[in-house]
Amino acid sequence: MSFWQKIPQANETSFEFTKSQLYAAFQHNSKQALSEALTKGLASNGFSSFAKSGNLHFATKTTNMLPVLFFVSMADDASSIRVTYKAPVPPLKALIEDAIKFILTRN
């Protein structure tokens, strides 16, 4: 994740969802089941994943090859998730956030 450190801290944003806010396919009662569902669901939307230090890390690239990096941390009881991402350029922040929110909530 060396690219993660290269992106300025000012370009980092986090947001949270409770279990009831998530799309039905992501509503699970265990952290393991939620982790598997998130990995599968985000993979079907073009994100590659890898686990690191208890969090799920995801990456993809935009059509002009800019990296999109984010990680998901989950409550132990799978009652909520926190998404943290860094945008390589500030104008992408809103697009990245809207895309992730749509995938996870379908809203």
pLDDT tens digits for 19-47? 999 999 999 999 999 999 999 999 999 99
Residue 51 has pLDDT above 80, yes or no: no
Which pLDDT score, from 0 to 100, does residue 102 have? 96
pTM, entire model: 0.89
CATH code of the domain covering residue 49: 3.30.310.10
- Cα(97)–Cα(83) distance, integer angstroms: 9
pLDDT tens digits for 63-97? 888 888 899 999 999 999 999 999 989 899 999 99
Q: What tokens were used for 65?
A: 């090859």
Residues 6+ apart with CB under 8 A from 56: 35, 38, 39, 49, 50, 71, 72, 74
Q: How many domains does the chain have?
A: 1
Range of the domain at 78: 2-105
